[in-house]
Each structure stands twice: as structure tokens, then as C-alpha cells.
Amino acid sequence: MSALLNVTIGELLEEKAKLQPDNKAVIYSDWDLRWSYREFNDICRLAAKGLMKLGIDKGEQLAAWSTNTPEWLITQFATGKMGAVLVTVNTNYRTAELEYLLQQSDSTTIILMDAWKESSYIDMLYEIAPELRTSEPGKLESSRLPYLKNVIVLGDKRYPGTYSWADIMKLGQSVSDEELNQRMDSLEPDDVINMQYTSGTTGFPKGVMLTHNNIVNNGFNIASCMKLTAQDRLCIPVPFFHCFGCVLGTMACVSVGATMVPVQEFSPKRVLQTVQDEKCTGLHGVPTMFIAELNDPDFEKYDLSTLRTGIMAGSNCPIEVMKAVIEKMGATEITIAYGQTEASPVITQTRTDDPIDLRVETVGKALPKVEVKVVQPGTSKEVPFGNQGELCTRGYHVMKGYYKNQSATNEAIDAEGWLHTGDLAVMGENGYCKITGRLKDMIIRGGENIYPREIEEFLYSNPKILDVQVIGVPDEVYGEEVMAWIILKEGEEATAEEIREFCIGKISRHKIPRYIEFTDAYPMTASGKIQKYLLKEKAIEAVKN
């Protein structure tokens, strides 16, 4: 395996623009926007110069709050050239979450869409920083956001106190190429360049500091495992603000000079149409996205014959869904990836030529130059192959730490440099891992350890069930009881009793869900992860009643 890349994000793009200037870098099918690597690099350079003209220094935090727009993508590589730290903002955030992130990250600049769906992002910002309405662009003095100076709004409409994206590109014309090259030369691959806030399923979200080295190399190794090349076109419907979009998606593509085909906002029809129209060879998605695509009423009408590879990740990948993606969508080389933001993010991945059982039953083996071990929870003692424990990882991909939170960093990364993931796993002698749950998701019923994943996989084999999530709910007698939240396939009906009957004799009695609720949807993060803690809150209410 080749050595690790030792370049910044900005240098990586320059390199690809020299090597294959005419290869398509970006295609936005909806807007008929098509940039070659040369054109995309030039646009990113101009944006980088515009940000420098605003007075943004290397190491300063710049927040981006938008869907998968071309400007978000340009900003990722422009900051990679001029050294500002890109702070990614979840598109579902509301005022309290936005205020917390902007304060905690010390962001001096925010780039945002004016609105999305029913939410006015600009109104939310005015609510937190009312001084913006009367301030000169670039000179905000906000009592609640003391660091924030520059607000850049995407789109044609003008808003008081803000710059437009066009202003930034225009400002870039007054900065010389030499000045930008000097700035690029001053950056080190080990500098922090990206900050992602973890979902905050427990406590306040933490800012994960990722370096050029972290995400350039993770992207490159992900691409290698997918056998992604400059000839590939990857459809990216997962959000850029999440590592899935901006590392497994954009960085993996640029690391090998492949074509990025982003979808601005997920819809199964839009994804299927894009794959067909742009002849995409790769497709990314969380399991719920693939389920939605496979169950689209017009699925059969789309020509997906170019599909070959891609990644399913983000949450447990049901075996039946994986098989359908291979058989019905034709993505015979689809891979499964597992990781977390703190590992920038991929730790293990299956390979394209792995036999089907490894690709559906495991999350693969360690990426090149990544170490993985399974330890007894709460210790650093490795467990034997085939035994369950906590998955730990070490290598180039481990984050620099949590921003302004040394105690949480020390909790996550031990003295030997191992990141403790909090995930339960079993590793086979071949190095392939199965994720068996979260340390904190484990259900302890009457002293028996129950792992939700095992019950979920079993219930997926019921032909009426589309999706299922298993959680533990408090119980006076046993401590915890098993509860299943089930989404039925369209047109199907079932009762709780019928589901229990289906379990009898096939799984241990103590694993059969005592409580079964049917639902139409699960609470989700914007990146497609199911929020089990919200399901749990809902469950506790339902059980009480």
C-alpha cells in the first residue's frame, strides 16, 4: 500500500487540476452545472482570495450553513487553500443550537442560505444577533456572538449587514495569485481545517477538530477500498455538513480525480433520476435512503445499469437491504463503511471483491494504515477473536481532539493514542468486524445482556416489516424490557401479537419484545441517523400510558 499523502486539501485539488484539467470535477444535474477540474480549481482559488480579502486568517473558524449547494462545495476547497477552519452546521439546527455552535466554535464568519424548507436561516441569525440589521457588512458587533464579524448570504437577495456570495467572488479579484500561493505554502498538513459537531445525543455537541491529514488520507483510503478512479462518477445525496458527504463523498472523489455528482436535497426520485441521467457508477447513502429508493413506486423505470460501487453507512445496514442494493440496483461492488466523526470518519470498510457474506454480515476490516482492536469495556485489555468488547482504533485518522474540551478529549483518546469508540464489536480472525451495538444501547434485562442489533436483524426477516428499531425501556421487575418500533411495508397490516408469534421458538424468550409499537417514521438527524434516545423518550411515555 502506498504511503500516506502529505498534502493539504488545497494542494490536493491543485494537483488534480494539473494532472487531469479537463476531467469533470463537479456535475449538478438539476442546474446543468458542469465544471472540469481546471475550472473548479480556479473557482475555489477565487473564493479563497475573496475570503482572504475579508481579512480571514488561517486558523480562524468559518461556519457553513446550507444544503449541498455548489457554494458549500467551493467553500470546502477554498478554506482548504486559505486555511480557515470550516465549521459544518447541521441544516436542521434552530436558534438555540446555532447560537451554541457559533459561540462554542468562536466562528468569525458564517456562510448561509437565506432559507430552506419552512425555515428562514437569515431570520434565525437576526434573532440571535439583532445588531446585524444595522451593521456594516464585515463589522458586526454582537453581544451574544462576540467573535462573529462576517455574514455571507447565498442567493441574489440582499440583506442588511451581510455580504452576498457574488461580493466574495468580486473581492477575490483584488488579491494576487502570489498572495494565495504564499498562504497555501504556510499551511501544514497537520493543521486543523474542518470542525464537525457531534450529534449531541448525550449532553452538548462537541466540536471535533479534523486536520488536512485526517480527511485527505481517509478520503483516499475510502476511495481505494471502493476501487474509485478518475473514470468514476459518484452520486452524493448525503449531506455535506456531515463526514459522509464531505469525506466519503467529496474528499474520496478529489483524492483520485473522480467526478462529484451532488444532489442538493435527498429525494429517492431525484437520486434515481441523477444516477440514470449522469450515468453514475457510484452511489452513497444511509440505509433509510436505499430503502426509500428501492421502494419508490417508479423504481423499475430507471436505468441504473452504470452503477457499480458506493457506500452504505451511517447506521446498521440490514442484510436484506444490502442484498437488494446488489441484486436490484446492480451495485455489485457496494461497500459498507463504519466509523465516527472522531475518526474522520471511516475506521473499517468492506472491499469490493469480498464475498457477499462478509459484505452483509460485517462492517469490513481496518482501512490501510489504521489499527483496530476490541477490548474489554473500561479497560485496554484485548478480548480474544470472536468475543464482544469495545472497538478502539489508532492511526492517522484519529481527530486532533475536541475544541476547547480537553477533558472530553482525554476521555475519548487514551495515553497510547487509542480512540475508544463506545461501540460494541466482535472481530473475527480475518480482522473483519461486526458492530453489535452501542455500549449505552445495550439492554440489561434481569441480568441478561441483550443487543438490539440481533433482534433487529431477526425481525427484518419478517416479510411485512420494512424497518425496525429495538430499544430498552425501564421495568420495575427486570430493570429493562425490550421494545420494538416497527415500520410496516406499504399495504401491510400486522398486530403486536402476530409479531410476537413470529418470534416464538426462533429467538430466546427474554429477547422477544414485550412492547411493540407501529410507526410511520423515526426521529432522525439531518444526516439520516436514527435518534434512538428520542425513540426511548417516546417509548417511556407510551409504556406509562
Mean pLDDT of the chain, nearest integer: 93
> How does DSSP classify residue 56?
P
Q: Which of 283-297, 379-393, 435-449, 458-472 is least confident?
A: 435-449
Same fold, 9-22+38-197 and 443-544: no
- Arithmetic mean of pLDDT, 523-537: 80
Edge to edge, the sheet with strand 207-211 lists 163-164, 150-154, 107-113, 61-65, 85-88, 192-197, 207-211, 401-402
Nearest to 103 by CA among 64, 144, 62: 144
Nearest to 9 by CA among 253, 340, 286: 253
Tally of CB atoms within 10 A around 429: 8
Grid coordinates representing 384? 480474544
Q: Is the pLDDT of residue 508 over 80?
A: no
The CATH architecture assigned to 9-22+38-197 reads 3-Layer(aba) Sandwich (3.40)
How much is the pTM?
Answer: 0.85
Q: Is 384 exposed, middle or buried (0-12, 13-18, 19+ CB in 10 A)?
A: exposed
* Per-residue confidence (pLDDT) for residue 417, from 0 to 100: 98
Grid coordinates representing 259? 467526478
- Domain extents in the chain: 9-22+38-197, 261-414+422-438, 443-544
The greatest distance separating any two alpha carbons of the chain, rounded to the nearest whole angstrom, comes to: 74
Contact 206, 402 (CB under 8 A): yes
Geometric angle at alpha carbon 226, from 221 and 231, rounded to 5°: 105
pLDDT range class, residue 528, cuts 50, 70, 90: confident
* Per-residue confidence (pLDDT) for residue 517, from 0 to 100: 95
> How does DSSP classify residue 342?
G
Q: Is the pLDDT of residue 164 over 50?
A: yes
Cβ neighbours of residue 422 closer than 8 Å, sequence gap 6 or more: 390, 438, 439, 440
Q: What is the pLDDT of residues 40-62, one digit of tens each?
A: 999 999 999 999 999 999 999 99
Q: Distance (Å, rounded) from C-alpha 236 to C-alpha 252?
A: 11
Name the 3-class secondary structure at 356. Answer: helix
pLDDT range class, residue 202, cuts 50, 70, 90: very low
Of the ranges 87-101, 410-424, 463-477, 528-542, the best mean pLDDT one: 410-424
Q: What is the pLDDT of residues 292-333, one digit of tens each?
A: 999 999 999 999 999 999 999 877 777 888 899 999 999 999
Q: For 211-242, b where at least 16 C-beta lie within 10 A, e where not — what string?
A: bbbbbbbbbbbbbbbbbbeeebbbbbbbbbbb
Classified by CATH at the fold level, domain 443-544 comes out as GMP Synthetase; Chain A, domain 3 (3.30.300)
pLDDT range class, residue 2, cuts 50, 70, 90: low
Q: Is the pLDDT of residue 370 over 80?
A: yes
Q: What is the pLDDT of residues 379-438, one digit of tens each?
A: 899 999 999 999 999 999 999 999 999 999 999 999 999 999 999 999 999 999 998 877
* Per-residue confidence (pLDDT) for residue 527, from 0 to 100: 67
Grid coordinates representing 508? 430466546
* Per-residue confidence (pLDDT) for residue 201, from 0 to 100: 42
* Per-residue confidence (pLDDT) for residue 372, from 0 to 100: 98
Q: What is the pLDDT of residues 92-116, one digit of tens each?
A: 888 988 999 999 999 999 999 999 9
pLDDT range class, residue 199, cuts 50, 70, 90: low
- Arithmetic mean of pLDDT, 527-543: 82
Q: Is the pLDDT of residue 440 over 90?
A: no
- Return the CATH number of the domain spanning residue range 261-414+422-438: 3.40.50.12780
Percent of all residues in the chain with a pLDDT value above 90, rounded to a whole number: 79
The residue with cell 482504533 is 393
The residue with cell 504564499 is 182
What is the distance, to the nearest Å, from the Cα of residue 373 to the centroid of all Cα atoms in its chain?
A: 23
* Per-residue confidence (pLDDT) for residue 447, from 0 to 100: 67
pLDDT range class, residue 203, cuts 50, 70, 90: low
